């Protein structure tokens, strides 16, 4: 998707911030990967214009060549140190949340429900429909299919069995 004109706001990471952040967390591969994602986001935003780009001065790299298609906007209030600290704090907060990950994994769930998270096939859907029409309970269907009750209820809903057969 391209646009005739793009105007960027000053919330992308710039060259100076990138250097500071990279120096602080050199050994953290995940952190460097996140910084790379930030740079890629800026790249994608910039490359979506066909004609003119309006870009904050802080986002231009050092010694960037002048172009009639690039319009530099002056940043009125620069709070780079606060932004860097906020960025570091936000990243570390997200990292802590990610480290708390889900309290389960597919393998753990499959210890109790052997077919949990496996795709449904046409044959399984037909069997589920037949059992539903016979009035078999969700609990019994869950045991039969090796899935959770929630998975059975979700599939019943997706197949619209309640609307079709009740």
Distance CA 55, CA 71 (A): 6
Let me know if 42 is exposed, middle or buried by CB neighbors in 10 A (0-12, 13-18, 19+): middle
Report pLDDT digits (tens) over 67-104: 888 888 877 555 555 666 666 667 666 666 666 555 56
Indicate whether 82 and 31 sit together in one domain.
yes
Q: pTM for the whole thing?
A: 0.40
Indicate whether 81 and 36 sit together in one domain.
yes
Given 99, 126, 148, which residue is the final one in a domain?
Answer: 99
Distance CA 142, CA 151 (A): 8
- CA angle at residue 22 from 74 to 97, to 5 degrees? 100
Q: How many CB atoms lie within 10 A of CB 27?
A: 6
Axis-axis angle for helices 138-145, 122-133 (nearest 10):
150
Indicate whether 54 and 31 sit together in one domain.
yes
- Written as one string, the DSSP assignment of 53-110 is EEEEGGGSPTTPPP-TTEEEE--SS--HHHHHHHHHHHHHHHHHHHHT--S--HHHHH
**Enclosing domain of residue 58:** 3-99
Indicate whether 21 and 92 sit together in one domain.
yes
Report pLDDT digits (tens) over 21-63: 767 665 566 667 777 788 888 888 888 888 888 888 888 877 8
């Amino acid at each position: 998707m391209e646009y005739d004109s793009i105007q960027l706001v000053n919330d992308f990471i710039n060259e100076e911030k990138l250097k500071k952040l990279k120096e602080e967390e050199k050994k953290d591969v995940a952190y460097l990967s996140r910084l790379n994602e930030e740079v890629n986001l800026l790249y994608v935003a910039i490359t979506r214009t066909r004609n003119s780009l309006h870009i904050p001065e802080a986002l231009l790299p050092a010694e960037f060549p002048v172009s009639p298609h690039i319009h530099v906007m002056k940043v009125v209030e620069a709070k780079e140190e606060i932004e860097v600290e906020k960025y570091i704090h936000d990243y570390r907060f997200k990292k802590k949340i990610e480290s708390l990950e889900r309290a389960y994994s597919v393998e753990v769930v499959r210890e109790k429900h052997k077919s949990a998270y496996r795709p449904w096939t046409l044959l399984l859907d037909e069997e589920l429909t037949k059992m539903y029409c016979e009035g078999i309970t969700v609990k019994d269907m869950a045991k039969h299919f090796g899935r959770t009750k929630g998975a059975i209820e979700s599939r019943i809903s997706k197949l619209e069995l309640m609307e079709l057969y009740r």
